[in-house]
Chains A and B, each alone.
Chain A
Amino acid sequence: MRMIKYIIPVLIFVIASCATTKMEVDRTTAPDPREAPEIQFSKPASFTLDNGLEVIVAENHEMPVVSFRLTVDVDPVKEGEAVGYVEATGNLLRNGTSGRSKAEIDEEIDFLGADLYTFTNGFYASSLKKHADKLLKVLADVTKNPSFPEEEVDKYKQKQLSNLTSSKTNASFIAGRIARKLRYGEHPYGELKTESSIENISRDLCVDYYKTYYKPNTSYLVMMGDLSLEEAKKLARKYFADWEKGEVPEHKYEMPERPGKPKVALVNKDDAVQSVISITYPVELSIGSEDEIKAKVMNNILGGGVFSGYLMKNLREDKGYTYGARSSLSTDPLVGYFKAGAKVGTEVTDSAITQFFHEMNRIRDEKVKKDHLDMVQEVMTGSFSRQLEDARTYARFALNSKRYDLPDDYYANYLKKVNGVTVEDVQSMAREYIRPEESYIVVVGDKAKVTEKIKKFSGNNEIEEYNFNGQPVEKSKSIPEGMNAEKVIKNYIDALGGRANLEKVREVHQVSSMSMQGRQIDIEVFRKAPDKYANITKMNGMVMSKQVFDGEKGKMIVQGQEQQMQGEMLKEMKFEAKMHKYLKYDELGIKTELVAMDKVNGNDVYKIKITMPNGRVRYDFYDTKSGLKLQSKSKTQTQMGEMDMVRTFSDYKEVEGVKFPFTINISGMRNMTLKVKKIKVNQGIENSVFQ
């Protein structure tokens, strides 16, 4: 045992050194903390320009650094069909002004070694003090003269669309959206960005919003860092005094209500192994209100950090349902919210909700133990003090004080108030703000596995299903008596033109095109029975990739480089290249199952689970009326994680007695619409095409 041999001399040494220095080291227990530090606050100065711009100056001369934050403080607006344009307006402020192109702004900012971000109703920028004047010059231009170049608006929309698309399989993101939609209802906070709302964003909307709402008389400029009040005044006047003031419309909205009874909302995610749970409702709790700090202490006891929250202790430490279970209680001048949530295994979805309710009720019913409260107060004191290191914290405090008209000593007394919260306060806050019986319970998970188990939490024993965009999904009907997958496939075959006609199709040559980021992409597909296949993809007329398979061998040519198909890839190709697979699912070992009724674009559909011999699963949706396939969903792996690939078929037209979809919408990494230009059937395709 080397360690013991090693430790003994250490101990002797320690004892020896103690003897000489007369210091005792008791290593067996943690040292006691000294007296908690007092925090000194200097109140930031402020002044108002003639045009109404309120300027707050938070001096900090530690480092020769300055930063500036603009906040345009206006009521939220309903964005309706074009949700996202207010954000677009903010983000695009820095992408061009009447006097500077985006490239020129980039160059000026980089030259100064500065940073500039613009966002919804404001900007944040920082630089060294010595560049403050030049930086402000750009900031003033961006604030007063943004031009929203058409090209930049388009680029922005594309980026937004691909962001949204890549979030579509992110269950936590979906749960957040639905929770927002439910708890805020008709309030503007409840509006969600969708693909179509992003498409509807336009330069005009941005310009109009900017002209109406970006006014100095509703804005705050926070100037932080190494500058004196005098310097700040001079700079603010120099650059912002000529920002023209104007009347800004006000909007009032009704306070959303909590649901009278618990409501369970579900978003389906086929085959999900985890459910995301979010329990939420709106609350009236504004910053600076009597209850605010007490309520926050209470929430930290319920759902704070790893060692301090009831939820974490129960759901993570004791039950092992989840890696993290937390709650938050947010203040807002209009509508605040409570939410509690976790990501849990599908099989414990209902047990986890039960425990959330248990802990939410416990904090209402039982008094918190004094030492638990002490610990939470300690944790809050620590994190408050650590935040103060960042000059931006003081600026935020200063801004809040102005915006919400807080008492002068609000932040100075913050810790005093935190530490003054009593066991009784915690319970009375819990009774006021923790309302399990009036909450929305949002679950994103596998509908087939969780539906029956979570019904019981709903006040009316019913579940409401929503889609990604927060629209209610019509209750799907139950599967009609006697219906099964074989019959659905048979109907599909008949709808396409019948087995006999389909079998006559020996060759198909299909030409289609789509546009992607402004580029035209042409795709030509050749098929020849039983299993020859070729695919040529061109971008702006140039061949980008080519894939050919002659029934035995295959190759790919990507950007001029050729590769033979081998191994798994070749095996898969052999299978995929077979024509008319749906005519012989059994023979090919493909399993089908009618799993549910569903809706696609308002049409009732049969949902068929299709399992390939290699185990890969896909879901196809067949119209109950026409019998045609309307949609197909599969999963694909990308560098952003797993992603749903959804293909939607429409515009079926007959060619040689057989129907083909002439419009195919594909949503995966990007949303693309493929338009078929022509289809030739049995017109003779040379075998050389496949080699």
Chain B
Amino acid sequence: MKMKKLLTLTFGVLVLGIFSIQAQNPNIQFEEYNLDNGLHVILHEDHSTPIVAVTVMYHVGSKNERPDLTGFAHLFEHLMFEGSKNIGRHEYSEYVEKAGGTLNANTSNDRTFYYEILPKNQLELGMWLESERMLHAKIDSVGIATQKKVVVEEKKQNYDNRPYGSIMIETMKRAFKKHPYQWTTIGDAEHIKSATPEDIKNFYNTFYVPNNAVLTIAGDINKKETKKLVEKYFAGIPKGTKEIRRPEPNEPIKHKEIRDTVYDNIRLPAIIQAYHTPAMGTKDYYAVQMLANLLSGGQSSRLHKNLVDEKQLAMQIMAIPLPFEHPGLSLTFAFPNVGVDPAKLEKAIDKEVTKVRKELISDRELQKLKNQFESRIINQNTSIAQRATNLSRYYTYFKETGLINEVIDKYNSVTKKDIKRVANKYFREDNRVVLYYLPESEKTKQESK
């Protein structure tokens, strides 16, 4: 077994060195190594609470799906609770609840994440549950039939019939023409319905393999003992042999605005502006995040203060860059106040964006953004579960687990000029999709034109 110990700053270095600065940047210590089967293991020891998080992140999300089999990564998240060779139907939750723990999972466009949070004396239970899932999850016809129904129902409830529920689906399919981000995690109900057991097993054998996963165990553990348990439960899981489909970031650069209207079962209109922005982890991504915060982070942000509080044009405005592994989008959602013309609100938002393109932000604003991100990053790592997630993410996307301690510096190095520059480079009209969500009752207008 190869062991790669990452350099970890010792406390002594901290004290001797630049105490006044470093004291604010907590150093999350971890150890990482690979098993022979390719499973990457991250251990983070913290004895402040007698609990452990056992987590597995599989580097598979909706972007790894075939265009004719969308929604699979998410369908799998459901199937993976159906049990395994040794775990009966629905017993995953039962084991965990009875042990006094909690569990869940989630799927994104880029990865799928499973976790259990357990009292420390139940660490081995968590290892057993996760290794069973990786080794021989139960994928039988009953489970497939049940979960297909559940997922199709979930799509109806959360996407089709929920007001504004289709926003991501409608936005992504217009923004991406080549790249698999054009479909979202929920996928196409028809693909899910028609998926064959062969398709499903094939997906499992391709992606749910140790060489496509990160096992992160965090909390009140003894590393030596934990390593033994990792060996016991995971070393025997065979390496995957199928080729893992990894799409290229191949979406062509846009030179023309796409503008459209979607009619939905809503009472109040919504405006969505989606700018193509760079991949997570790039220098410009950090600047884009700060730009989004300048626009809508907090009640004093430019859009909130000017358009919500003062001019009362909108009920709510949010700018959110998607944290995607490949170049993605930065989305602005705006809900006009009753009686406000959406076009008027959009113009007002554009005016604020133009201002960022033309004028440097103030020193105070830059400092505010830095303060906000510093606080956000630190608060993102307060719980064991959060730390486990972040450690896994940084490894999965960048193979750079240590970013957890360094990401603050990335934000701190963003300058006023960077923000102006990314506003000009990405927040351009010809680089965006604009959608108006309007009540269905206004649909006839468009049809008669």
Contact = CB atoms under 8 A, between A and B. Distances in A.
A597 to B, nearest CB: 34
Contacts of B446: 563
Interface stretch (B169-177, B232-240, B276-284, B318-326): B232-240
Contacts of B117: 386
A97 B312 CA distance: 22
B119 A385 contact: yes
A133 to B, nearest CB: 14
Nearest to A23: B232
A676 B380 CA distance: 56
A514 to B, nearest CB: 13
Given A110-B299, A566-B448, A131 B371 contact: yes
Nearest to B293: A110
B445 A563 contact: yes
B265 interface: yes
A531 B46 CA distance: 76
Contact of A128 (B24, B123, B228, B237): B24
A625 interface: no
A382 B371 contact: no
Interface in A141-173: none
Contacts of B220: 37
Interface residues of A, number: 84
A563 B444 contact: yes
B382 A65 contact: yes
Contact of B233 (A7, A25, A106): A25
B50 A33 contact: no
Interface stretch (B90-98, B179-187, B250-258): B90-98
B121 A35 contact: yes
A103 interface: yes
A517 B338 contact: yes
Contacts of A31: 124-125, 127-128
Interface centre among B50, B86, B233 (most CB of A within 10 A): B50
A261 to B, nearest CB: 37
Contacts of B268: 639
B106 interface: no
Contacts of B305: 103, 106
Contacts of B441: 569
Contacts of B238: 9-10, 13
Contacts of B367: 111
A614 to B, nearest CB: 16
B83 to A, nearest CB: 13
B355 to A, nearest CB: 18
Contacts of B131: 27
A198 B328 CA distance: 46
B378 A128 contact: yes
B136 A64 contact: no
A544 B205 contact: no
Contact of B298 (A106, A388, A517, A519): A106
A530 interface: no
Given A103-B309, A307-B98, A64 B24 contact: yes
A30 B128 contact: yes
A33 B267 contact: no
Interface stretch (A77-85, A373-381, A586-594): A373-381
A544 B93 CA distance: 54
Interface string A209-235: 000000000000000000000000000
Nearest to A62: B48
A10 B442 CA distance: 60
Contact of B448 (A34, A559, A563): A563
A309 to B, nearest CB: 11
Contacts of A564: 444-445, 448
A478 interface: no
B15 interface: no
A112 B267 contact: no
Contact of B97 (A110, A308, A566, A638): A308
Contact of A27 (B24, B49, B86, B447): B86
Contacts of B24: 64, 128-130
Interface residues of B, number: 85
Nearest to A305: B97
Contacts of A544: 339
A380 B132 CA distance: 26
Interface string A567-596: 101100000000000000000000000000
A383 interface: yes
A448 interface: no
A570 B447 CA distance: 13
Contact of B135 (A10, A62, A669): A10
A37 B100 CA distance: 12
A326 B373 CA distance: 41
B164 interface: yes
B236 A389 contact: no
B442 A558 contact: yes
Given A111-B367, A380-B100, A566-B448, A21 B205 contact: no
A375 B98 contact: yes
B163 interface: yes
Interface string A87-131: 000000000000000110011011111100000000000111111
A566 B163 contact: no
Given A63-B378, A106-B299, A23 B231 contact: yes
Nearest to B341: A559
B97 A563 contact: no
A131 B375 CA distance: 10
A63 B381 contact: yes
Contacts of A107: 300
A41 to B, nearest CB: 12
Given A10-B135, A30-B125, A37-B120, A110 B372 contact: yes
Given A113-B374, A131-B371, A556-B445, A37 B125 contact: no
A13 B237 CA distance: 8
Interface in A638-676: 638-639, 669
A3 B85 CA distance: 11
Nearest to A11: B236
Contact of A112 (B25, B93, B163, B371): B371
A63 B375 CA distance: 11
A23 B378 contact: no
Contacts of B122: 33-34, 382
A5 to B, nearest CB: 11
B314 to A, nearest CB: 14
Nearest to B204: A3
A570 B102 CA distance: 53
A386 B102 contact: yes
A25 B236 contact: yes
B25 to A, nearest CB: 8
B368 interface: yes
Given A23-B228, A128-B378, A10 B445 contact: no
Contacts of B368: 110-111, 113
B444 A10 contact: no
Nearest to A389: B49
Nearest to A104: B300
Contacts of B132: 27
Interface in A531-574: 539, 544, 556, 558-567, 569-570
Contacts of A27: 85-86, 128, 131-132, 135
Contacts of A556: 442, 444-445
A184 to B, nearest CB: 33
Contacts of B265: 637, 639
A109 B298 contact: yes
A128 B102 contact: no
A379 B93 contact: no
A369 interface: no
Given A31-B125, A34-B121, A110-B368, 9 more contacts: A3-B139, A17-B236, A39-B50, A112-B375, A113-B375, A129-B24, A383-B100, A386-B102, A563-B442
5 contacts: A62-B26, A65-B382, A128-B24, A379-B100, A381-B100
Q: Which 7 A-B pairs have the closest CB atoms?
A: A382-B100, A563-B445, A113-B375, A37-B50, A110-B298, A14-B236, A639-B163
